[in-house]
Chains A and B, each alone.
Chain A
Amino acid sequence: MQEFHEIYTSIYQWLDMFLISTFRLISNPVSGFFFGTFLLSLWCTLIGELTSLGVGRINRTHLKKLEQESIRLHNLSVKAIIHKDKESYRACNKMANEAWGKYFFATISQSAASVWPVPFALAWMHTRFEAIEFELAYPIPLLPDVVGYPAVFIPMYILVRICFAKLKPWLPLFHGDDAPKLRRPGQEDEKMITWADVDKHKGLPG
């Protein structure tokens, strides 16, 4: 246990040194704080996205199975409504919603995998920047007049996530879903019938 504690402490010290050094890259303290927070948001986004990618690959078969079941039942409900069969629509829709519920909760891991570094980043910032305060130029509902480091980190993180999502198609590792390569002939997935498809084809597509 003692050894574990020592390892934990030395990892923490190393990380602390590494993270704070990025806040000191710019000599002006305010600019340095904003730049450091930007880099920290970038780290959180990168690590989160990489974890999410890994988890996605491990859980892919299971998630695909759940997704396919909800798509199958949804498509059935579309067919029922197109045939003006209200009772079958209600039944199929109820089943589709249940199947989707399972899929929704199973995808929670994916969401948690992409955001887990954020609370740790906030915990570390608390140890370093607890006393920092910014006065808001304009009052924002639900926020006090003076805010702390989370009010800089959280919007910065959201901005970085949005930019990252836009850049994804050009980034190695993140640029696409490689799932189609794994499917064998005859194992093609059922595609979800969207209402736009129904409108476009004046009925059921295909």
Chain B
Amino acid sequence: MIASESGWAQVANLQEAIDAAPKGTERGEINPEAPLGYLGIPGGPQINLILAFFWAIWVGWIFSTVGAFGGIMAGVGHITVYGLGNYAGTFRQSAPTINRAVTDSIRVSNQFMVGTSALISSINYYKMGRLVLPVAAALAIGSIAGSYLIPLLTAGKISFRDYVGYFGIFVLFLGCYMLYETTPRGAAGKKKAKQAADAFESTMKKKRSGEKVDTSELGVKMTKFSLGKIAFTFYGVEFSFNPLFPIFGGFIIAAIAAFLGVGGGFMLVPFLTSVTGLPMYLSAGTSALAVLIGMITSILSYLQQGVLVHWPLIGTQLVGIVVGSMVGPYTSQYIPDKWLKRVFIILAFYVGLDFMARGFLGKNIMTMFFG
């Protein structure tokens, strides 16, 4: 066996755990006579690829209409829809290694699902010269550390219940953020930005196109560079940020992304815009590169720990995402943005609370409320 000789411990451990698990047909037992299922476990769930395909269409639809929630829904698919969560849960007491192997497989599968775009877009942005290498490097240092450490520290150690609980907290947080954005206070910030942008646009329209502009100070000029502060003028306008922020931010975002098995791009872009003040032209490429570096490190780190991947499932889901994203633009025009947002807030609260209840209390939300 490759696994036992090469240090890919988890593959060997899973086989050992299968051998050591109590044999039988009850919950938490392995029936050696049963056909091989998920990850080659006898009696493991037979992933229904048709169901996976249709769920991935839904994920693709969300990606093309809402954005960030796609990664979450991919996770919900792995945990709930394909039955991997319930299956992993049955081995909580009897064979914890099987429980953890399935959990890690879910985490890395989520990352494969959401990470492919970063690779292609980073190459394009690099070609267009849209990367700010010092900021990308600072983010990358943090990202690599976070993406490498989390799988190293947690692969094979996180039980399914813990994972689901933390996943729930994250989804609930996202739901709260979406809800905040719809409140008058949250909407005011956005409205203010829109009003300022609109006001500036109309000013520009009034001005004659050939107007003289003072551009004696071109590009970025560094005015202060220390451990505590980077100050620079950008076409004569002053900006500053603490260089430790991108490193620390990159670490935290990559660590969360690697732990939960999400991309992290939707957290990085607002972070870059608000902390460094980088223009979109540069922050888009820089964040795509940081996501890519984080994803590669994290996936390799998981694979190095011997985390198992169900390749046909990943392939089927990618095809589903493509179909969903093609359907999305044609259907979303009939659904107002406001309603779409409300549906996702309700969904985020339900999934978040349900996963938290499952993770920390061992009950699903329906049982909790309705017995």
Contact = CB atoms under 8 A, between A and B. Distances in A.
B117 A112 contact: yes
B63 A108 contact: yes
B277 interface: yes
A94 B274 CA distance: 8
B200 A85 contact: yes
**B contact face: mostly helix, strand, loop, or mixed:** helix
B116 A112 contact: yes
Contacts of B288: 104
B121 A199 contact: no
Given A59-B326, A88-B197, A81 B319 contact: no
A106 interface: yes
A116 B284 contact: no
B189 to A, nearest CB: 9
Contact of B117 (A80, A101, A107, A143): A107
A43 to B, nearest CB: 14
B24 interface: no
B300 A106 contact: no
A15 interface: no
Interface string B302-322: 001000000110110011011
B215 A146 contact: no
Contacts of A144: 6-8, 304
Interface stretch (A32-40, A119-127, A173-181): A119-127
Interface string A66-104: 000010011011111111111111111111110011101
Contacts of A62: 64, 329
**A contact face: mostly helix, strand, loop, or mixed:** helix
Given A74-B280, A106-B64, A109-B322, A94 B273 contact: yes
Nearest to A94: B193
A101 B326 contact: no
Nearest to B299: A142
B235 interface: yes
Nearest to A89: B237
Given A74-B279, A93-B279, A95-B194, A113 B315 contact: no
A42 interface: no
A100 B200 CA distance: 20
Ranked 3 nearest A-B pairs via Cβ: A109-B325, A91-B196, A119-B315
